[in-house]
Amino acid sequence: MTRVLSCASVADVIVKSPASTSRGRRTRAALLQAGHEAFEEHGYDAVRIDDVCVRAGVSHGTFYTYFGSKEALFGEVAEAVVGEMFAASVVGTAASADPYARIEAANRLYLRAWAANSRLVRMFEQAATGDGRFGRLLLELREVFVRRGADGLRRLQEEGLADPALDPRLTAIMLGGMVEHFAHVWLDLGEQAAEETAVDHLTRLWARAIGLTDASPWVRPEEGA
């Protein structure tokens, strides 16, 4: 079980050093990558700062130039992973304008991003249950996903394609939670399902939950039944 992390605040967890030179930025990036690999392979408790330094090819003293503690490094790794997952699941402007197709693409990309980072995500969640202040960091990191979902629903409502009675933020939290929990059950606990089947079901549920029905010219005929 992950050790309870003590952190005075979110600001204290993420300790950013002003790496103003290109060499400094490279060193900092190497430490972050080394931390990412070490935490993923061994878990938070088993990782020592010396382990990270060896992987990054730097001295123990150099570590403290950029991070105040192992906890600070862990916090930044968490931030980076969620940022990577967000970027990996962005559908983009080149994709179809069909709202159903965009929801489908977003669900597929999210599941793949989760698959690439599931061990670390669960580690972050375990840390959050042990310390509410670290939990607030996790909520802040997840906010980027909530905001994106809420903004998307709000646009559909303005276009008359989704149920106007739904609260965009609450709906984004609930539907995002559905996708996240399924990803955990499927990828971490071993529930059997083909990717296409999983994406299809998640997308049907999401579309119907927001009221993307026959009233929308974008809904596929078989989806309106």
Condensed to tens digits (0 to 9), the pLDDT of residues 127-182 reads 888 777 677 777 877 888 899 999 999 999 999 999 999 999 999 999 999 999 99
Longest CA–CA separation in the chain, Å: 65
C-alpha 138/C-alpha 162 separation (Å) is: 29
- Sketch the domain layout of the chain as residue ranges: 13-72, 89-212
Give the Cα separation of 86 and 102 in Å (integer).
Answer: 15
Tokens of 4: 């309870």
Residue whose tokens read 């999401």 = 206
User: What is the structure's pLDDT at 225?
Assistant: 44
The pLDDT tens digits for 85-139 are 888 888 877 667 889 999 999 999 999 998 888 888 888 888 888 777 677 777 8
Taking the C-alpha atoms of residue 218 and residue 157, their distance in angstroms, rounded to an integer, is 14
- Asked if 13-72 and 89-212 have one fold, the answer is no
What confidence score (pLDDT) does residue 122 get? Answer: 85
Helical spans, DSSP H, in the chain: 10-13, 22-42, 49-56, 60-66, 70-88, 99-130, 132-158, 168-183, 195-209
CATH of region 13-72: 1.10.10.60
Contact assessment for residue 73 and residue 32, using Cβ atoms and an 8 Å cutoff: yes
Domain 89-212 has CATH 3.40.50.150: no
Residues 97/53, Cβ–Cβ less than 8 Å: no
DSSP character at residue 187: I
- Over 60: is that where the pLDDT of 70 sits? yes
Are 115 and 129 contacting, i.e. CB atoms less than 8 angstroms apart? Answer: no
DSSP 8-class letter at 184: I
Name, in order, each residue with C-beta under 8 angstroms of 84's C-beta and a sequence gap of 6 or more.
113, 117
Number of residues in the chain: 225
Task: Tell me if 128 sits within 8 A of 134, measured CB to CB.
Answer: yes
